[in-house]
């Protein structure tokens, strides 16, 4: 496992972080470009706030946890200044996207812009403490909690009352965000939030009869036999399970860690493409056709988050199945997603594992999943953890 640990560390420090450092910074307007082609050239200048927040978080986090590289801190401060100046509307909600100059393009319909803004400023405050950063992080987090039960608000396309489904994504994110912000929220607040989000993930969205987690359920947690209600996103579940494992470790709840590990493994087995390899993007619980035409694509974040979950599952529980799967997913991921010629990794493959889009960043892919996963696997598999 030490060979893996060193491989992941080296890829993070020597390849992935330098790619973003060299190519994404906008020195004219501030903030970051995320629409980068295979070589790192900018192909679109729109700025997506959740990716701005993710990149600020990434460089702050790596500065704090890997090495106090001045260039990393400079990147975090550079992005945060742009976010602070242009990122929010008058109510404190974070826009979805801006022009290169910082003019609003898309309204704040997506609460995940807020989630990653809170995460970004909390991480930056750890390395450069500031009342301003604390205030932005905490006020944003409180706003998320206020909006959590109707977070789309006026931007919700669903007709009210007919099929009022609740989604898995926000409880999942809150599992991780609460830990990321513990130094600002305080242990008491995290202890108060943890059982709520754990209950939502492990009891409301988890379907015991199938042993799997759904993306959408009725308000009482029951199954909705509809496109949305049958939808499974294996990557979401697997990522959430390493969040839950971390919470379980913090709470010294071995049973919770074991349950999360079991769900993760069951989901991986269910979502693995037995013909071509790799993990499907979307599936229908009952085997019906999905609405998502991209259902059979293989995405970068699904695979790297699975590697994190498997590393943690093996380290925390000693379950040999995690080790066996880690070898298999590692081989697929490093063979298909890592660009052997240029920096960073590809994001989108077709079902057969061929590169579908050779971009390195865009509207959805930025400086986040790959570096975070490389760090998490490295840190988890280090000699003192095994």
CATH of the domain at 59: 1.50.10.10
Q: Is residue 195 part of a domain?
A: yes
| Of 97, 120, 119, 98, residue with least CA distance to 109 | 97
Q: Per-residue pLDDT tens for 211-238?
A: 999 999 999 999 999 999 999 999 999 9
Q: Round the average pLDDT of the chain to a whole number and report it.
A: 96
Q: Is the pLDDT of residue 151 over 70?
A: yes
Q: Is residue 11 part of a domain?
A: yes
The pLDDT of residue 152 is 86
Q: Is residue 122 part of a domain?
A: yes
* Residue of higher predicted confidence among 1 and 74: 74
Side-chain-side CA neighbours of residue 21 (13 Å): 19
Q: Per-residue pLDDT tens for 162-202?
A: 999 999 999 989 989 999 999 999 999 999 999 999 999 99
Domain extent at residue 38: 2-154+163-381
Tokens of 352: 């057969």
**155: Cβ contacts below 8 Å, ≥ 6 apart:** 107, 109
Residue 309 near residue 237 (C-beta atoms within 8 A): no
The pLDDT of residue 124 is 98
The pLDDT of residue 327 is 98
Q: Is residue 386 part of a domain?
A: no
**Total domains in the fold of the chain:** 1
Q: Is residue 106 part of a domain?
A: yes
| Of 142, 72, 140, residue with least CA distance to 108 | 140
Average pLDDT over residues 336-362: 98
Is beta strand 166-167 parallel, antiparallel or unpaired with respect to 216-217?
A: antiparallel
């Amino acid at each position: 496992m030490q060979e893996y640990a060193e491989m992941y560390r080296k890829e993070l420090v020597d390849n992935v972080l330098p790619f973003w450092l060299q190519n994404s910074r906008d020195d004219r307007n501030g903030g970051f470009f995320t629409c980068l082609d295979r070589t790192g050239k900018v192909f679109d200048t729109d700025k997506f706030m959740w990716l701005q927040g993710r990149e600020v978080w990434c460089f702050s986090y790596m500065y704090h946890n890997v090495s106090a590289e001045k260039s990393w801190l400079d990147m975090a401060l550079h992005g945060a200044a742009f976010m602070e100046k242009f990122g929010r509307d008058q109510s404190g909600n974070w826009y979805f996207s801006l022009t290169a100059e910082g003019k609003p393009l898309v309204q704040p319909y997506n609460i995940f812009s807020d989630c990653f803004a809170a995460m970004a400023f909390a991480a930056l405050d750890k390395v450069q403490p500031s009342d301003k950063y604390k205030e932005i992080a905490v006020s944003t987090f409180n706003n998320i909690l206020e909006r959590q039960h109707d977070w789309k608000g006026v931007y919700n396309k669903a007709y009210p009352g007919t099929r009022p489904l609740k989604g898995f994504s926000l409880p999942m994110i809150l599992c991780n965000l609460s830990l990321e912000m513990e130094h600002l929220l305080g242990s008491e607040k995290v202890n108060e939030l943890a059982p709520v989000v754990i209950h939502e993930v492990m009891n409301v969205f988890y379907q015991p009869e199938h042993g799997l987690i759904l993306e959408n359920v009725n308000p009482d947690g029951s199954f909705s036999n509809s496109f949305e209600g049958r939808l499974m996103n294996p990557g979401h579940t697997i990522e959430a399970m390493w969040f839950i494992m971390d919470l379980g470790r913090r709470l010294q709840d071995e049973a919770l860690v074991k349950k999360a590990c079991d769900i993760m493994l069951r989901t991986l087995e269910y979502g693995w493409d037995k013909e071509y390899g790799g993990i499907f993007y979307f599936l229908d619980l009952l085997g019906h056709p999905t609405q998502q035409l991209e259902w059979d694509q293989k995405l970068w974040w699904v695979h790297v988050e699975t590697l994190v979950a498997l590393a943690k599952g093996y380290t925390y529980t000693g379950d040999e199945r995690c080790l066996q799967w880690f070898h298999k997913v590692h081989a697929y991921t490093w063979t298909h997603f890592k660009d052997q010629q240029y920096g960073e990794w590809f994001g989108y493959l077709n079902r057969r594992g061929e590169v579908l889009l050779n971009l390195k960043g865009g509207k959805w892919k930025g400086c986040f999943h790959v570096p975070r996963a490389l760090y998490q696997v490295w840190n988890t598999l280090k000699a003192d953890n095994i």
